[in-house]
Amino acid sequence: MKKEAILYRMVRPIIKVLFKSLFTPKIIGKENIPKSGRIILAGNHTSNFDCFLLMSSTKRPIHFLAKSELWKGPKKIIFGNMGLIPIDRKEKNHQSLQLAYQYLNDEKLIGIFPEGTTEKQKGVLLPFKIGALKMAKETNSKIVPFAITGNYRLFSKNLQIQFASPISITEDLEKEKERLKNQIDCLMRGDL
């Protein structure tokens, strides 16, 4: 079993206080994140601050899949000690996926943005990649869909994250990809 990243545990309380005081986010449905067990959080990606918002939404450490560019230069020390999983968005990532599977098999929490990058047009989802669904299916993990709306303007009080109930994934990953995308889209529009 992998140990939780010490740096993550140290900075999470600080991030939570900063986010609550600076952005006053509304967190809806955090009770849908199970207190234990293998879970994948999957949702839309609006900003580089999204990871911090997720971190402040649950006490459980989240192991994010993050672009490998974050591991270049001095940043490697920080991101390497936060329990993140580097993903090269241009190549197959067998080693990274194996690490993600290991975390899930150890009953940990993975955070992923199926769009693979931040949104280009506010409120419009990019095509989803299949990685989160494949991981869920192969490790028998449930996915907790989430949606982030609003913006990260100081004291704006319109920032919101909403978590839906956990879903199980069936064999048809393409069909499940559309179901996940539709559910996140509904959360973004306030239809769930």
Q: What is the 3-state secondary structure (H, E, C) of the chain?
A: CCCCCHHHHHHHHHHHHHHHHHCCCEEECHHHCCCCCCEEEEECCCCCCHHHHHHCCCCCCEEEEEEHHHHCCCHHHHHHCCCCEEECCCCCCHHHHHHHHHHHHCCCEEEECCCCCCCCECCECCCCCCHHHHHHHHHCCEEEEEEEECCCCCCCCCCEEEECCCECCCCCHHHHHHHHHHHHHHHHHCCC
Given this model, what pLDDT does residue 1 score?
47
Q: Nearest 5°: phi and psi at 60?
A: -70, 135
Question: Does pLDDT of 62 surpass 50?
Answer: yes
Does residue 70 carry a pLDDT above 90?
Answer: no
- Assign 71 a pLDDT band (cuts: 50, 70, 90): low
Tell me what the mean pLDDT of segment 6-26 comes to: 89
State residue 3's pLDDT score.
57
Supply the pLDDT for residue 2: 55
Does the pLDDT of residue 44 top 90, yes or no?
yes
pLDDT tens track for 73-87? 766 666 666 778 877
- Asked whether residue 175 carries a pLDDT value surpassing 90, the answer given is yes
pLDDT attached to residue 95: 77
Model pLDDT for residues 119-171, shown as the tens digit of each residue: 888 888 999 999 899 999 999 999 999 999 999 999 888 999 999 999 999 99
Grade residue 37 by pLDDT with cuts at 50, 70 and 90: very high
Model pLDDT, residue 168: 96
pTM: 0.91
What's the confidence (pLDDT) of residue 157? 86
